[in-house]
Structure 1
Amino acid sequence: MPRMARMTDAAQHLRDLARLRRVRDRIDREYAQPLDVEALARDAGMSAGHLSRQFKLAYGESPYSYLMTRRIERAMALLRCGDLGVTEVCFEVGCSSLGTFSTRFTELVGVPPSVYRREAALATEGMPPCVAKQVSRPIRNREAPAT
């Protein structure tokens, strides 16, 4: 491959990484808003398929999966506080279906949100919120250490 073509490919790759970072930052900021891959891709100047493939290569999961993980992490924090019920938390973090929320929560955390709400308050009692967030962060099956 000619040197100029390699430089052009490298420059394009860096531009794509910058766009992917902006998409990830937007998901982090606007997780509670109605976000979909089509809109994220359009705003990034990419097709939805290209965004999904490149995002997964860069971050290890699809944009939708990343969004749901952020929502579940925030839901965990809200449930630990104990001020809101599961349904209220579901809508507060941007989910529109209690069933989907509960299913994804259970997949990521290992227990349903109602059980987590009861048990998490006891498990993290007395911990600063920043520590509680770190020790209770959901671990996907693919991230779990081998036993």
Structure 2
Amino acid sequence: MDAASHEAWPVKRLAELSDVTEAHFARSFRQAFGIPPHRYLLTRRIEQASTLLRDTEHPITEIAFATGWESLGTFGRTFHDITGKSPSALRREARATTQQLDRVPACLLKAAQRPDLVTAVSEKRRRLADGTNQPSIKEV
């Protein structure tokens, strides 16, 4: 999934590649990584898109499709739900702070910028609608 995060990775495909049942794969994956396979894939796609937004001049639409999104609207909404910023806002902020981060090792930057997907996007939306959005451990 990491090497080809732009591809579709339904649990059925992952289970077939692992030669186990779908239920067993999903359960084992969650045990190993702490999140379901779909959220893990979203994390990788958002990380890749964030990197491309910061480091390239590619149009946002091109980045969305290159990182596996089938719809620009879905990409923008999910990106905002996870990062708290629109893709264009992230790009603007990254350009404003690029010079300050030139001396920080890339591995530390990537870890610090990794999206927090412990809570599902739909759960975050529900909490926001109810006015009960609790900060995640990462935000505290």
Number of residues of Structure 1 aligned to a counterpart in Structure 2: 121
Structure 1 residue 124 displacement after superposition: 3.1
Residues 1:137 and 2:114 aligned together: yes
The percentage of counterpart residues that share the same residue type is 36
Larger radius of gyration: 1
Q: Which string of whole-angstrom CA distances, capped at 9 and with x for unpartnered residues, describes residues 53-88 of structure 1? A: 221122111111101100100100000024112111
Question: For 2:91, which of 92, 117, 128 is the aligned residue?
Answer: 117
Question: For structure 1, which runs of at least 5 residues remain unmatched after alignment?
Answer: 1-26
Question: For 1:72, which of 16, 22, 46 is the aligned residue?
Answer: 46
> For residue 47 of structure 1, what is the aligned residue in structure 2?
21
Alpha-carbon distance in structure 2 between the residues aligned to 1:141 and 1:62: 9
Structure 1 residue 137 displacement after superposition: 2.3
Alpha-carbon distance in structure 1 between the residues aligned to 2:71 and 2:39: 16
Alpha-carbon distance in structure 2 between the residues aligned to 1:48 and 1:124: 43
Q: TM-score, normalised by structure 2?
A: 0.74
Q: Is the 8 A contact 1:108 1:140 kept in 2?
A: yes
> For residue 131 of structure 2, what is the aligned residue in structure 1?
none
Superposition RMSD in Å: 2.1
Larger CA deviation: 106-115 vs 123-132: 123-132
Moved over 3 A (4+): 140-143
Question: For structure 2, which runs of at least 5 residues remain unmatched after alignment?
Answer: 120-135
Q: TM-score, normalised by structure 1?
A: 0.71
Question: For 1:97, which of 71, 96, 105 is the aligned residue?
Answer: 71
By percentage of residues, which structure has more helix? 1
- Counterpart of 1:118, as a letter, is R
Q: Is the 8 A contact 2:43 2:114 kept in 1?
A: no
Pair 123,55 (structure 1): closer, same or farther in 2 beyond 3 Å: same
Match of 1:34, SS state, is coil
> For residue 37 of structure 2, what is the aligned residue in structure 1?
63
Alpha-carbon distance in structure 1 between the residues aligned to 2:98 and 2:17: 39
Q: Which string of whole-angstrom CA distances, capped at 9 and with x for unpartnered residues, describes residues 80-115 of structure 1? A: 024112111111111112222222211221111121
Alpha-carbon distance in structure 2 between the residues aligned to 1:33 and 1:93: 8
